[in-house]
């Protein structure tokens, strides 16, 4: 089609130039040569890649020169009934294009109607119908309007305009029609070129945003990247802003860097204005002229056109992406489409960031729990390599977490064998196991180890988790409890042995004299009292174990009487080992301030231990004296026939101040 139009045009100009020599008043051959050069310049537009505005500039300049009118203009149809007009006044190349005017034509034209011909208006002031008037505000008196036809459809009109009434020649009408044919091809090429550039800008913008996803940028960085790419790819935008919903308000989150103002510090109510309409309808809203939209709320001066795209995650709205301009009708369909795509990308970025934040928060929570556990925790992968160790286990083993991470379990440099061969076999079978191991020096600890397999939601084996509990103290407490029971049994057995022995003597009738019988009965009574005291002591220990304080009942106590009472209780135990149990008390021992029951229990423990560890036939002495306001008591023991007496002593000090 391009070749045909160009050939037809060149034939017309050649015939017109030939006719110029024979027709009176016709243009000179030199003038036609100039027109031929201008026409060739216009024809070259069909094979070059210029922007639409550059193409329109060239067309109106060439039309003005070739047709010889004061000026020319072009009206184009677009799918949304938008038009762009470029106009050149006269033939002055230095003059600028007037701002684009709007022709209210409908649609993109449609198929060329039969009989559609150029319209010629010699004088618009004459009564009668005026066809295809130029844009409102144009004061032209005469014009030729030739249709711009591409692929059988009208895409607009080419106007040759004069400010005075003009009788246009057939030659001018034909030439305007040929120029319109060439211009239609050039404009179609420019539109394709412009669309290609827009698509390329869209692809670059989406690529850069996707690259930001791959680089795992933070949410703030991604949102900033999106608004910057939006402004770079839609140059007509003065600024691009992303708002996020926070309750019932839209709070600003990102502003394009080249914006003429700073990011607003306060948000806006979510249900108001154009943004509220976009949120409610879940669709991009375009306001080509803000002065004509009743929903528009002016929050900053100078906004004349506005695009607001909702940020959607599924059916949930989380915010908006908006672009504005100080120029009316500044955003074409391609720009609005790109802003909508970038809004979708922003929604995905926010959703991804929120999921990542939730995942990281959960990960940090689990790590905090594991790292603050008193028990040790070790994670193993499927090959039984150590993945991680919490601080508690590292402290138990006296190693750092770095020394253990990444090592096979069998080569871990800790001084104990956490797993016996049976345990390792259970690990390979993904079974649970538990056991205790005793470490050697220098740790010297008892550890309880529990293992459990780890699986994902698809029941795929991931590894194992080990929980290690230091039971050294528990085992020590078990030992102490055993010793305590042994000691209590011994303490209970001493008075019971005395009671049983003296009661047996009385029952067998071996004690005939009444004073001795009375003494034995007194001892039995004292020993029963001692049993009562021991039971009370156990109750006191139980109260201490429950956190209750042990209360001493302090009073003025006769220490000599307490010592003699203890000796009477312990005599039967000493006689059993044929020991000599003696007291060496100073005269006139003073009263002391003490708990008589607790003091007696201390003496019983000391005398009992002395009897227990003194060989048969030995001697145990209980000594007491007052000095410098204090009462000192000590216990000595000696072997039966030592080559040289070997003494061992234990002592108790008490204040003599009542």
User: Could you tell me the CATH number of the domain that includes residue 432?
Assistant: 3.30.450.20
Q: Which of the 8 DSSP states describes residue 652?
A: E
| Residue 164 and residue 78 share a domain | yes
Among 196, 224, 258, identify where a domain stops.
Answer: 196
Q: Which of 510, 511, 616 is nearest to 573 (CA)?
A: 616
> Is the pLDDT confidence value at 2 over 50?
no
Write out pLDDT tens, residues 222-259. 888 888 888 888 888 999 999 998 888 888 888 888 77
Query: What integer pLDDT is reported at residue 79 of this predicted model?
Result: 44
> Is the pLDDT confidence value at 101 over 60?
no
pLDDT band at 323 (very low <50, low <70, confident <90, very high): very high
Count CB-CB contacts under 10 A for residue 437.
16
| Residue 342 and residue 382 share a domain | no
Query: What integer pLDDT is reported at residue 88 of this predicted model?
Result: 29
Gap between the Cα atoms of 65 and 392, Å rounded: 91
Among 470, 499, 531, identify where a domain stops.
Answer: 470
| Residue 256 and residue 128 share a domain | no
Asked, for residue 427, whether it belongs to a domain, the answer is yes
Tokens, residue 489: 């049994």
CA 470 to chain centre: 35
pLDDT band at 477 (very low <50, low <70, confident <90, very high): confident
| Residue 183 and residue 44 share a domain | yes
| Residue 347 and residue 496 share a domain | no
| Residue 496 and residue 451 share a domain | no
| Residue 295 and residue 413 share a domain | no
Query: What integer pLDDT is reported at residue 7 of this predicted model?
Result: 47
> Is the pLDDT confidence value at 9 over 80?
no
Provide the β-strand partners of residue 233.
Answer: none
Write out pLDDT tens, residues 353-371. 888 888 888 988 988 888 8
Q: Which residues span the domain enclosing 418?
A: 373-470
| Residue 329 and residue 245 share a domain | yes
Query: What integer pLDDT is reported at residue 474 of this predicted model?
Result: 87
| Residue 192 and residue 70 share a domain | yes
Gap between the Cα atoms of 377 and 633, Å rounded: 53
Q: Which of 240, 291, 290, 298 is nearest to 268 (CA)?
A: 298
Provide the β-strand partners of residue 76.
Answer: 156
Q: Which helix (H) or strand (E) is 172 found in, with range?
A: helix 170-214
Alpha-carbon Rg of the chain, whole angstroms? 55
Percent of the chain scoring above 90 in pLDDT: 6
Least trusted range by pLDDT, from 107-116, 193-202, 554-563, 639-648: 107-116
Asked, for residue 481, whether it belongs to a domain, the answer is no
Spatial CB neighbours of 68, under 8 Å, sequence gap ≥ 6: 172
Domain with 626 in it: what CATH number? 3.30.565.10
Mean pLDDT to the nearest integer, 497-521: 84
Using CA atoms, how far residue 206 sits from 214, 224, 330, 355, in Å, is: 12, 14, 22, 22
Domain with 27 in it: what CATH number? 3.30.450.40
CA 621 to chain centre: 77
Paired sense of beta strands 119-121 and 305-313, if any: unpaired
Give, rounded to a whole angstrom, the gap between the first and last alpha carbons of the chain: 130
Asked, for residue 205, whether it belongs to a domain, the answer is no
Query: b vs e for 294-320, b when ≥16 Cβ sit within 10 Å of the residue's Cβ?
Result: eebeeeeeebbbbbbbbbbeeeebbbb
CB 66 within 8 A of CB 35: yes
Sign of CA dihedral 76, 43, 191, 94: negative
Asked, for residue 476, whether it belongs to a domain, the answer is no
CA 387 to chain centre: 23
Query: What integer pLDDT is reported at residue 34 of this predicted model?
Result: 57
Spatial CB neighbours of 375, under 8 Å, sequence gap ≥ 6: 392, 393, 467, 468, 469, 470
SS3 465: strand
Count CB-CB contacts under 10 A for residue 543.
13
Number of domains in the chain: 4
> Is the pLDDT confidence value at 531 over 90?
no
Tokens, residue 283: 């669709």
Among 318, 337, 359, identify where a domain stops.
Answer: 359
> Is the pLDDT confidence value at 309 over 90?
yes
Tokens, residue 174: 């034909």
| Residue 175 and residue 305 share a domain | no
Asked, for residue 494, whether it belongs to a domain, the answer is yes
| Residue 571 and residue 541 share a domain | yes
Mean pLDDT to the nearest integer, 567-584: 85
- Give me the torsion for CA of 503, 507, 513, 514, rounded to 10°: 60
Asked, for residue 229, whether it belongs to a domain, the answer is yes
CB 619 within 8 A of CB 598: no
Judge if the upstream peptide bond of residue 442 is cis by omega within 30 degrees of 0: yes
Asked, for residue 268, whether it belongs to a domain, the answer is yes
Mean pLDDT of the chain: 76
Query: What integer pLDDT is reported at residue 240 of this predicted model?
Result: 92
Asked, for residue 290, whether it belongs to a domain, the answer is yes
Query: What integer pLDDT is reported at residue 355 of this predicted model?
Result: 86
| Residue 492 and residue 450 share a domain | no
Using CA atoms, how far residue 564 sits from 381, 484, 524, 558, in Å, is: 71, 27, 15, 10
Tokens, residue 144: 């030729």
């Amino acid at each position: 089609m391009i070749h045909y139009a160009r050939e037809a045009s060149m034939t017309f100009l050649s015939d017109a130039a030939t006719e110029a020599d024979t027709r009176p008043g016709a243009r000179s051959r030199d003038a036609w040569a100039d027109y031929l050069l201008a026409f060739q310049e216009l024809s070259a537009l069909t094979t070059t890649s210029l922007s639409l505005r550059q193409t329109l500039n060239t067309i109106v300049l060439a039309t003005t020169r070739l047709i010889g009118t004061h000026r020319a203009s072009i009206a184009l149809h677009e799918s949304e009934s938008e038009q762009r007009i470029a106009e050149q006044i006269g033939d002055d190349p230095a003059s600028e294009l007037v701002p684009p005017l709007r022709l209210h034509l409908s649609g993109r034209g449609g198929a060329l109607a039969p009989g559609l011909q150029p319209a010629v208006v010699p004088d618009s002031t004459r009564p009668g119908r005026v066809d295809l008037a130029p844009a409102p505000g144009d004061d032209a008196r005469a014009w030729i309007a030739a249709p711009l036809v591409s692929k059988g459809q009208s895409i607009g009109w080419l106007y040759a305009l004069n400010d005075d009434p003009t009788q246009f020649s057939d030659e001018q009408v034909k030439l305007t029609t040929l120029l319109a044919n060439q211009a239609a091809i050039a404009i179609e090429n420019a539109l394709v070129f412009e669309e290609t550039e827009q698509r390329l800008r869209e692809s670059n913008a989406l690529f850069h945003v996707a690259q930001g996803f791959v680089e795992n940028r933070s949410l703030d960085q991604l949102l900033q990247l999106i608004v910057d790419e939006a402004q770079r790819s839609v140059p007509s935008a003065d600024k691009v802003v992303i708002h996020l919903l926070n309750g019932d308000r839209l709070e600003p989150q990102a502003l394009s860097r080249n914006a003429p103002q700073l990011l607003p510090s306060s948000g806006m109510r979510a249900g108001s204005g154009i943004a509220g309409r976009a949120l409610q309808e879940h669709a991009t809203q375009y306001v080509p002229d803000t002065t004509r939209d009743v929903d528009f709320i002016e929050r900053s001066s100078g906004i004349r056109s506005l695009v607001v795209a909702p940020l959607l995650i599924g059916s949930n709205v989380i915010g908006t992406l908006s672009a504005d301009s100080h120029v009316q009708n500044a955003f074409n369909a391609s720009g609005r489409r790109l802003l909508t795509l970038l809004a979708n990308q922003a929604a995905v970025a926010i959703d991804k960031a929120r999921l990542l934040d939730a995942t990281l928060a959960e990960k940090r929570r689990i790590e905090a729990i594991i790292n603050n556990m008193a028990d040790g925790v070790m994670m193993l992968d499927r090959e039984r390599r150590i993945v991680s160790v919490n601080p508690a286990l590292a402290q138990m083993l006296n190693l750092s977490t770095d020394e253990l991470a990444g090592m096979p379990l069998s080569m871990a440099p800790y001084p104990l064998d956490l797993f016996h061969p049976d345990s390792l076999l259970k690990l390979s079978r993904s079974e649970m196991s538990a056991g205790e191991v005793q470490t050697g020096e220098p740790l010297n600890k008892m550890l309880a180890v529990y293992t459990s397999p780890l699986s994902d939601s698809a029941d795929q084996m991931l590894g194992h988790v080990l929980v290690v509990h230091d039971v050294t103290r528990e085992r020590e407490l078990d030992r102490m409890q055993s010793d305590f029971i042994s000691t209590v049994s011994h303490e209970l057995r001493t008075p019971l042995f005395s009671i049983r022995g003296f009661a047996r003597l009385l029952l067998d009738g071996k004690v005939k004299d009444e004073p001795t019988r009375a003494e034995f009965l007194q001892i039995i009574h004292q020993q029963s009292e001692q049993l009562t005291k021991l039971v009370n002591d156990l109750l006191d220990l139980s109260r201490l174990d429950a956190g209750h304080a042990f209360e001493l009942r302090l009073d003025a106590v006769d220490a000599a009487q307490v010592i003699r009472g203890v000796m009477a209780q312990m005599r039967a135990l000493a006689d059993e080992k044929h020991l000599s149990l003696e007291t060496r008390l100073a005269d006139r021992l003073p009263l002391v301030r003490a708990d008589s029951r607790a003091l007696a229990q201390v003496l019983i423990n000391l005398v009992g231990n002395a009897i227990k560890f003194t060989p048969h036939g030995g001697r145990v002495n209980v000594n007491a004296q007052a000095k410098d306001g204090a009462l000192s008591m000590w216990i000595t023991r000696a072997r039966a026939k030592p080559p040289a007496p070997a003494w061992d002593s234990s002592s108790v000090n008490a204040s003599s101040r009542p």
